Amino acid sequence: MGLELYLDLLSQPCRAVYIFAKKNGIPFELRTVELLKGQHLSNAFAQVNPLKKVPVLKDGDFILTESVAILLYLTRKYKVPDHWYPQDLQARARVDEYLAWQHTTLRRNCLRALWHKAMFSVFLGEPVSPEMLAATLAELDVTLKILEDKFLQKNAFLSRPHISLADLVAITELMHPVGAGCQVFEGRPKLAAWRQRVEAAVGKILFQEAHETILNVKNFPPADPVIKQKLIPGILAMIQ
């Protein structure tokens, strides 16, 4: 059995893994795990990942979880262009720096914006309070400024002259609030230009393919009540 990737493109980490594998011609079998149907909570999936989360990489008998670990595994196993995870010590450290920072900052705030702006209404049938939404978007705004001023600065990409894993992870994170209707690139010309460069480097068709689900999130039908009850505890823990 070849490489298998368990993904749901609603998930930001899954989109990063999907784009990276597709862009670099890495052959894999896609195993779709639909989060909003609770498929990640099934006993069958727990045999693959007891943590009941995606993405998951299965390479023969070897199973790997956590998106950053999966991305790094793919860069090391397959012959991909050096710019994704450079051999140069300082260039690689720039990528590592962003990957270490983003978990509890940009990714968390983008995920909260998605749920507070759109998914609470779609999934739970009622919006969050205006005060909570305002606080969430204000926190996201602060994090976006850090992304621009600390990581992007005046460079073409986050790790300086070429696209890297850092850019791929960051752009997939930012598409969460975009899908929710947040204008994260509006009024931020430097960030908007960076997005265009990343999309061009990835390829417009692949970029759109990977983000189709999240960009249509407002059109999702209401969740099944039984499934909703199973998912609510995990959702609330995830976005607190």
Half-sphere exposure of 234 (CA within 13 A, CB side): 13
Is residue 222 domain-shared with residue 147, that is, in the same domain?
yes
Is residue 57 domain-shared with residue 164, that is, in the same domain?
no
Is residue 180 domain-shared with residue 105, that is, in the same domain?
yes
Relative orientation angle of helices 106-114 and 12-23, to the nearest 10 degrees: 110
Is residue 187 domain-shared with residue 74, that is, in the same domain?
no
Say what percent of the chain tops pLDDT 90.
82
Cα separation of 85 and 95, whole Å? 7
**Is residue 50 within 8 Å of residue 43, measured between CB atoms?**
no
Domain of residue 132, CATH code? 1.20.1050.10
| CB-count exposure of residue 14 (10 Å: 0-12, 13-18, 19+) | buried
> Which range marks the domain in which residue 121 is found?
84-239
What pTM was estimated for this model as a whole? 0.94
Is residue 157 domain-shared with residue 113, that is, in the same domain?
yes
Return the pLDDT at 217. 86
* pLDDT digit string, tens, across residues 91-146: 999 999 999 999 999 999 999 999 899 888 777 777 889 999 999 999 999 999 99
* pLDDT digit string, tens, across residues 163-179: 999 999 999 999 999 99
**Counted domains in the chain:** 2
> Which tokens in the block code for residue 214?
């999240």
Cα separation of 227 and 213, whole Å? 19
| CB-count exposure of residue 129 (10 Å: 0-12, 13-18, 19+) | exposed
- Nearest one of 194, 140, 188 to 171, comparing CA atoms: 194
* pLDDT digit string, tens, across residues 176-208: 999 999 999 999 999 999 999 999 999 999 999
Is residue 114 domain-shared with residue 200, that is, in the same domain?
yes
Band (pLDDT 50/70/90 cuts) for residue 238 is: low
SS3 36: helix
* pLDDT at residue 73 greater than cutoff 70: yes
Cα separation of 137 and 129, whole Å? 12
Domain of residue 55, CATH code? 3.40.30.10
Is residue 138 domain-shared with residue 32, that is, in the same domain?
no
